Amino acid sequence: MNFERFAWWLFWFSFGLIILILFYGLTILFITSTSVELAFILGLISSLLMANKLLFGYGSIANLLDNVISLNEIKEEHKDKIKENVNKRFIPLEQIEKFSFATLISIALKDLDYYRYAYYSVYMLLVVITILAKFNLLGEFVLGKYIEGVFWGATITTFFVWGLEQLAKVSFTEFLNLNLSEENK
């Protein structure tokens, strides 16, 4: 027991140290960054804020499905988690209780579509502006290289959004292929 406590203490200490070093490094990076890197970081942060709902939505669904697939059964806690997501819609609670796990997940995936389309349209607008600036179609445009930095920052977030969305959908297909039965259906 004593050794275990010591190991935990060591773990938290090193974890805190790593976080501290990370913050220190990020601060140094932010202070010493050139204007181009600053544009990149700002684009990354702002697009992360915009895609926040999508990232957490698809991430939680993929995580939940991964749990269900690895356990090979649908537990009550899994259903409760997805109910929280769907509850925010204007569906009566009694009706939600009747839905199966797969239905709840497809409703949650559908709900995220609005955010996904909004995010992708803003991103496409940014792509068009970047291409115009890159090929000097906006005239002598001084801000061109900064817009490109914002574009690269947003591209990373878009990649995460796309990857998590695909992962959630692939997991959903795999879950459907398992043909799991629910107890209280």
Partner 1 sequence: MNRVILFFITSLIALMIGWGVGGYITYNKTIETVGKIPASPIIVKSYYDKEKHAVIFSFFNPGTLPLNVVSQSFVFKPGKESKEKSYQVENIPVNIPLIPLGITAVALKLKKGTEELKNGDVIMATIYYTHPLSKDVYSIAHRFEYGIKKNSPSNKK
Binding site for partner 1 (CB under 8 A): 34, 36-37, 40, 145, 148-149, 152, 155-156, 159, 162-163, 166-167, 170-171, 173-174
Report, in Å, the least distance between residue 102 CB and partner 1: 19
Give the separation between CA 135 and CA 27, rounded to whole angstroms. Answer: 34
Which residue's entry shows tokens 């909004």?
A: 118
Could you tell me the smallest distance in angstroms from the CB atom of residue 37 to partner 1? 6
- Which segments within 63-134 are labelled E, that is strand? none
By beta-carbon proximity to partner 1, the closer residue of 83 and 160 is 160
Which is closer to partner 1, CB of 68 or CB of 79? Answer: 68
What is the rounded CA–CA span in Å between residue 71 and residue 74? 8
CB nearer to partner 1: pick between 107 and 167? 167
Neighbour-count burial for 47-66, b at 16+ CB within 10 Å, e otherwise? bbebbebbbebbbbbbebbe
> Nearest approach, Cβ of 174 to partner 1 (angstroms)?
7
What 8-state DSSP symbol labels residue 182?
P
Kindly state the tokens that stand for 29: 């990076």
Q: How far is the CB of 155 from partner 1 (least distance, A)?
A: 6
* Dist CA 10 CA 183 (whole Å): 44
* CB of 104 or CB of 165, closer to partner 1: 165
